[in-house]
A and B are shown apart, each in its own frame.
Chain A
Amino acid sequence: MTGAFGGNPAIKAALLTRLENHIANGTLRFGGTVWDGSGGSALGVSTEGGDSADYASRFGYPLPMAGLLDPLTAYAGSDSGGDAALRWVECVEVGADLSRVPQRIVDHFLTDMGVERLAASSYADVRALHRAEASGVVMHRSEWTAIRRRIEAAVETTLPHSHERAALNACATACWPLQTSSSILSTLIAAWLQGVNREADPAFGELKTKRAMATLDEIYQQTQPMREKGEAVDIPALFRMRDPILAAGFEASLERANARYLDRAQSVPGIVLAHLATA
């Protein structure tokens, strides 16, 4: 295939029409990849199947991009998922060379996670592998594995829940060949989204968070025998009974974290589509 849509405007037009029809019929769904014969996810309806490699081959998108399509529309949500699916196609020019887009998206999210500062050496290793791959160097799986294991060993030297650990883990997540990886971008973006859990919540504070976690852990340990007997245990309710003020503060903090997660998730389509559009 020569670039996006094989250089054929008719392929792009047919794909857009298909998506528009499914949106109009309410048969475009947002979530995991699915095709049930009459409707499904963006990748599902585009290929009338569920194979990322098939999508990549038919429409000239790199394999990691094909693997990202359904997660991206899911992040957009049911209100905007259809628009995201359409823009995914519309913003790409017929014949455009998209081969460098996955690398740019990897760099975008790794940089946003602070790898240049927190995991400079590992990031340099991963970039070197990706550049070698892009220049046509054929590398055996063991070469990627060796670097990834080195990064994973470095992870073990860091503090749990630290930004440094997250940055190194992100480098390990990105340490796969881009040309044969349908899951690399979706996995990396999922890790980026989890970053909200490391953001401080000044309204609740570190001390209260530690107290809340310790209380929850204590309740969990104490109710282990009940769970082993198959009895239903409502841990949040037990927490509220034991320390109502702390539990209320913790639940409010969780709600704020969920809202931050949602904000981040909904920003993913914009970020990715901007990279696609500039290819």
Chain B
Amino acid sequence: MTGKVIDVAGWDVAAVIAEQRGLILFDLWSPTCAPCRALAPILDDLAADFVDELRICKVNVAVDEAIAKPFAARTLPTLALYRDGVEIDRVVGLKSRGHLTAWLESHL
């Protein structure tokens, strides 16, 4: 794992989900969403904190609605957590690094 948030713009997200073993966190965001921008540096830090345990991918829903569709996110930001290709939990809205760390650790 890279320890960095990966921008999956233009990727086949369905394939990423299907092929990924272990945990993958999708950040569904938009450039016009202020809480999404506030969350971005926190996710950068989480990618480093969980470097060997978790992959974090960001999905700009404003750029490609087709990419966003499978996630059915009604509010931004939405963090959707997948394990072995299946969504196991999600968090909606801006949360602190401490809150998200506790949430992720509960799924390790």
Residues of A within 8 A of B (CB): 32-34, 51-53, 67, 141, 145, 148-149, 152, 172-173, 176, 180-184, 186-187
| CA–CA, A183 and B47, complex, Å | 12
Closest Cβ of chain B to A51, distance in Å, is 8
When distances are taken between beta carbons in the complex, the residues of chain B under 8 Å from A148 are 98
Closest to A50 in B: B40
When distances are taken between beta carbons in the complex, the residues of chain A under 8 Å from B41 are 33, 52, 67, 182-183, 186
- Which 9 pairs of residues, A with B, have the shortest CB-CB distance? A183-B41, A32-B37, A180-B48, A182-B41, A183-B45, A181-B45, A183-B42, A182-B44, A67-B41
| CA–CA, A184 and B45, complex, Å | 9
Closest to B39 in A: A183
| CA–CA, A3 and B65, complex, Å | 44
B44 touches A183 (CB 8 A): yes
B97 touches A187 (CB 8 A): yes
Q: Is the interface of B mostly helix, strand, loop or mixed?
A: helix
Closest to B40 in A: A33
Closest to A151 in B: B98
B44 touches A141 (CB 8 A): no
Q: Counting CB contacts under 8 A, is B105 at the interface?
A: yes
When distances are taken between beta carbons in the complex, the residues of chain A under 8 Å from B42 are 183, 187
A-B residue pairs in contact (CB < 8 Å), sample of 23? A32-B40, A51-B44, A52-B41, A52-B44, A53-B4, A67-B44, A145-B101, A148-B98, A149-B102, A152-B98, A180-B45, A180-B48, A180-B49, A181-B45, A181-B48, A182-B41, A183-B42, A183-B44, A183-B45, A183-B97, A186-B41, A187-B42, A187-B96
Apart from A183-B44, A184-B45: 7 A-B pairs, beta carbons within 8 A? A32-B34, A33-B40, A51-B44, A52-B41, A141-B49, A172-B98, A182-B41
Closest Cβ of chain A to B31, distance in Å, is 8
Contact bitstring B4-45, A, C-beta under 8 A = 1, else 0 = 100000000000000000000000000100100110111011
| CA–CA, A119 and B37, complex, Å | 31
When distances are taken between beta carbons in the complex, the residues of chain B under 8 Å from A33 are 37, 40-41
Closest Cβ of chain B to A43, distance in Å, is 10
B105 touches A176 (CB 8 A): no
A53 touches B40 (CB 8 A): no
| CA–CA, A52 and B43, complex, Å | 12
| CA–CA, A148 and B49, complex, Å | 15
When distances are taken between beta carbons in the complex, the residues of chain B under 8 Å from A149 are 102
Contacting A at CB under 8 A, from B52-108, are 96-98, 101-102, 105
A176 touches B44 (CB 8 A): no
When distances are taken between beta carbons in the complex, the residues of chain B under 8 Å from A145 are 101-102, 105
| CA–CA, A67 and B41, complex, Å | 7
| CA–CA, A55 and B41, complex, Å | 13
Given contacts A32-B37, A145-B105, contact A53 B44 (CB under 8 A): yes
| CA–CA, A155 and B40, complex, Å | 26
Closest Cβ of chain A to B50, distance in Å, is 8
When distances are taken between beta carbons in the complex, the residues of chain B under 8 Å from A51 are 4, 44
Closest Cβ of chain B to A230, distance in Å, is 16
| CA–CA, A11 and B87, complex, Å | 46
B40 touches A176 (CB 8 A): no
| CA–CA, A172 and B96, complex, Å | 11
Closest to A70 in B: B41
When distances are taken between beta carbons in the complex, the residues of chain B under 8 Å from A141 are 49-50, 101
When distances are taken between beta carbons in the complex, the residues of chain B under 8 Å from A53 are 4, 44
